[in-house]
Amino acid sequence: MLKIELASRIRDLPPYLFAEIDVLKREARAKGADIIDLSIGDPDLPTPAHIIDALKKAAGDPANHRYPSYEGMPSFRQAVAGWYKTRFGVNLDPETEALSLIGSKEGIGHIPLAFAEKGDVVLYTSPGYPVYPVSALFAGAEGYPLPLTEKNGFRPDFAAIPQDVLKRAKLLFLNYPNNPTAATAGLDFFKSVAVFAARHNIIVCHDAAYSEIYSGDKRPGSFLEAEGGMETGIEFHSLSKTYNMTGWRIGFAVGNRHVLAGLGKIKTNLDSGVFQAVQEAGVAALHTDDSVLAPIRKTYEERRDALYNGLKGIGFEFSARPEATFYLWAKCPRGFDSRAFTRHLLEKAGVLGTPGVGFGAPGEGYIRFALTVPVARIEEAVARIKGAL
């Protein structure tokens, strides 16, 4: 019998937050509970039909059945560059400043392998996407959280970073519009980030997965729009949230060509690219007219209003009404920490959220709700939560 011992990078790994959530759901459903799941940010809306049609057509082409290019098809990278020019006014060279990804999670997980090692520091905002610190751990580096609090507008305080940490910092993960807090940031903030990064020779990795989920005409900007953005970092983007393509696993990274070259070198050794038929569908997605996307944003806005107004009406407190993402970041009632309140709502109301502490210690005292069920179910969830308080 073999004695199986996990590597330290696995032994030291905390349980993945959403795997824990899945366990809670399975346990509750095994007991026959009708669960209203507001936990994971997985859009319930279908992928637009023209994107599906593009996949069907491309999947039938034998040329797409072979290994794809590592960097991404030229047509896909050209579509990415065109989208950035139209959406943000940013000029990209599709050959050197755009790279396909198997979903943005893959790129985020791999980027520290190219630039960080033992003794180095990866800065990341907390609460935040759990992959940020895990990617640092896998690279053998040290993750250093930058607390996001209501007091600082859910933005990092760079002045609070110790000098010995700054000297070892190689990467900085940022995410606006922000998951889980739903906070947004403007170009002035991004410019200050670029100045900070240039001063301390730190690569900025901006996760912009939610830039297209916004209310009204308040369109979030790109880090690459800001002065110094292209010189100091890259931006990760995903087709998952914008086009309801979470299961398709396609995204991209854009920005500084030298940083992308490092990430590309990791990818050529670890994966074989994105199925070309999916890339063809991605091209169709990136050419989607706003007449298709505007109703999707409107749906999330209606759901946000239903949940925000409903919860506020029964006593919940919020730092602000979110203007982007499809999340609500709510304060837990007095007497509950975030894990206890999440379990209380599941057991007493059959409503599942995500405990704030699962996104990092500064998230304690909050619970995140995802707007991924119809308004009628949201209204039912509010009524159930009211009965459970």
Kindly report the number of other CB atoms within 10 A of residue 298's CB atom. Answer: 12
Q: Tens digits of per-residue pLDDT, 15-68?
A: 776 777 778 788 878 888 899 999 989 999 999 999 999 999 999 999 999 999
The domain in which residue 165 lies consists of 50-286
- For residue 127, whether the previous peptide bond is cis, meaning omega lies within 30 degrees of 0, is yes
- 102 and 214 fall within a common domain: yes
Q: Tens digits of per-residue pLDDT, 202-240?
A: 999 999 999 999 998 889 999 999 999 999 999 999 999
- 120 and 76 fall within a common domain: yes
d(CA 133, CA 145): 8
* Average pLDDT rounded to a whole number, residues 253-281: 97
d(CA 28, CA 39): 14
Q: Tens digits of per-residue pLDDT, 318-347?
A: 999 999 999 999 999 999 999 999 999 999
d(CA 147, CA 163): 17
In the chain, the number of structural domains is 2
Spell out where 52-109 has E strands. Answer: 98-101
How open is the CA angle 179-389-318, to the nearest 5 degrees? 35
Indicate which CATH number applies to the domain containing 62.
3.40.640.10
- 108 and 235 fall within a common domain: yes
Q: pTM here?
A: 0.95
- 76 and 196 fall within a common domain: yes
Q: 5 lies in a domain?
A: no
Indicate which CATH number applies to the domain containing 29.
3.90.1150.10
- 359 and 303 fall within a common domain: yes
* Average pLDDT rounded to a whole number, residues 5-12: 86
Give residue 179's pLDDT band: very low, low, confident or very high (50, 70, 90): very high
